[in-house]
């Protein structure tokens, strides 16, 4: 699904050039749950913007479902973002004085989806995101942080994207609420086959993924299967059989 070949990103400010990504190569297959981990300034968020078709690399190639993203028109890029990708951000990005349903149906207003179907899709997304039905008609500013993040997840799901990019999704949450949100991503990956790409600077958050790509100073310093999670999963499976 995702293939990056020697991706670089350089920002220019007058005579000053800053190399943020210095040659990134990896592949993410359909249905994987991958964490891209690194400290602040490592380039992980810049990489997510490239993967999400929000920015372009300075050099290198990025293939999404076999298509070279750099060769897509603006309209084609907009279609990719609308139909293939869902975004979840640290700051939720909800309309504070709109209801939960209104926030979740918002992406569908830009397509020719009838109102009744929009509401049905929103309800399905909210159910998948784990927000109880009694909250669906609340204003988003009446919700807790964890509930707002689940609304944001539902909004990302409403177009049924194949990939979900989550940029520091637990950054504004306490640890207990963060675990609930991370469990939601786990269920979406296991039960709904969504590809999850989780961006984080926290090791304990990254360890919820099946694979961890560790970036530092614009380079991949480690890319390996999360064996700790696999062992925990096997242990849980053994206990329940």
Cα gap 116→110, rounded to integer Å: 15
Name the band, by pLDDT with cuts 50, 70 and 90, for residue 230.
low
Distance CA 3, CA 29 (A): 9
Q: What is the pLDDT of residue 112?
A: 79
Give tens-digit pLDDT for 119-128: 999 999 999 9
Helix (H) or strand (E) holding 225: strand 219-225
The domain locations on the chain are 30-43+85-239
- With CA atoms as reference, report the closest residue to 200 among 2, 39, 24, 68: 39
The CATH-assigned architecture of domain 30-43+85-239 is: 3-Layer(aba) Sandwich (3.40)
Quick one: average pLDDT of 179-192?
A: 92
The residue assigned the tokens 């309209």 is: 75
Residue 111: the pLDDT is 77
Reading the block at residue 98, the tokens are 């709109």
The rounded Cα 220 to chain-centroid distance in angstroms is 19
Averaged over 72-97, what is the pLDDT?
Answer: 92
Tell whether pTM > 0.75. Answer: yes
Is 185 in contact with 164 (CB distance < 8 Å)? yes
């Amino acid at each position: 699904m995702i293939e990056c070949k020697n991706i670089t990103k350089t920002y220019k400010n007058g005579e000053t050039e800053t190399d943020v990504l210095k040659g990134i190569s990896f592949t993410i297959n359909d249905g994987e749950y991958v964490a891209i981990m690194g400290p602040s300034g490592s380039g992980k968020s810049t990489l997510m913007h490239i993967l999400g078709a929000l920015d372009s690399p300075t050099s290198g190639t990025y293939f999404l479902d076999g298509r070279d993203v750099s060769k897509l028109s603006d309209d084609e890029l907009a279609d990719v973002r609308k139909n293939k990708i869902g975004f979840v951000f640290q700051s939720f990005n909800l309309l504070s004085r709109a209801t939960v349903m209104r926030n979740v149906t918002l992406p569908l207003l830009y397509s020719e989806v009838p109102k009744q179907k929009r509401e049905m899709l929103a309800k399905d997304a909210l159910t998948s995101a784990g927000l109880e039905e009694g909250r669906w008609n609340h204003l988003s500013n009446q919700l807790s942080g964890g509930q707002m993040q689940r609304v944001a997840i539902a909004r990302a799901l409403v177009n049924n994207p194949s990939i979900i990019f989550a940029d520091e999704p637990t950054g504004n949450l306490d640890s207990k609420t963060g675990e609930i949100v991370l469990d939601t991503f786990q269920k979406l990956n296991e039960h709904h086959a969504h590809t999850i790409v989780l961006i984080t600077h926290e090791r304990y958050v990254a360890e919820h993924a099946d694979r961890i790509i560790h970036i530092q100073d614009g380079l991949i310093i480690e890319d390996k299967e999360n064996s700790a999670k696999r062992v925990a999963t096997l242990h849980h499976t053994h206990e329940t059989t």
